[in-house]
Amino acid sequence: MTAALAFIFGYLLGSIPFGMVLTRVAGGPDLRSIGSGNIGATNVLRTGNKPLAAATLFGDMLKGTVAVLAAGSYAGHDAALAAGLGAFLGHLFPVWLKFKGGKGVAIYIGLLLGLFWPGALIFCLIWLVVAAGSRYSSLAALVASALTLIAMWFSGAQSTALLFFLLTTLLWIMHRANITRLLSGSEGKIGAKN
């Protein structure tokens, strides 16, 4: 019962679409009508508003961090894991947006911060290196998630690694169109005009 409540709490928190909310408050367009149609920070950046994109990134990260830290402080590690799964699924499939949400990168980092903070540093470092070398944000996220998962497993945090195996799988599934474009050479690069 505790795990179920933690999952529901995490899901509702993860479902908050910060990109949509912040863009509307700022008088911007409906994110679903521009760029990739995604509600995350990368698509917010396509509106030209860098501060708003940064705020979206941090909002999407912190909702994951808050979910696991709050659940963990009240009911322990297993509840934190349940809340983390709920938050991630809430971000991908938010009830408020007919279950069409983001791709999960920002909240993935936020969950790392709350459950295995060295993993967040590893993820961000790898992302920066791959993104700088390739200029593909999607490729950087895919490589970073895979290598962070491996590092987590060998660190001895097996229960957390099992959760992140599932989250990494979901993140890759949500990026399947990006993977197709990467393989065909048609994926948009960071800073490129759409």
- Asked whether residue 37 is assigned to any structural domain, the reply reads yes
Low-confidence ranges of the chain (pLDDT < 70): 33, 35-37, 191-194
What's the domain count of the chain?
Answer: 1
pLDDT of residue 189: 81
As a whole number of angstroms, the longest Cα–Cα distance in the chain is 49
Give residue-wise pLDDT tens across range 126-140: 999 999 999 998 999
- Asked whether residue 178 is assigned to any structural domain, the reply reads yes
The DSSP H or E segment spanning 102 is: none
* DSSP secondary structure, 147-193, as one string: HHHHHHHHHT-HHHHHHHHHHHHHHHHHTHHHHHHHHHT-PPPTT--
In terms of residue numbers, what domain contains 70? 2-184
Give residue-wise pLDDT tens across range 140-173: 999 999 999 999 999 888 889 999 999 999 999 9
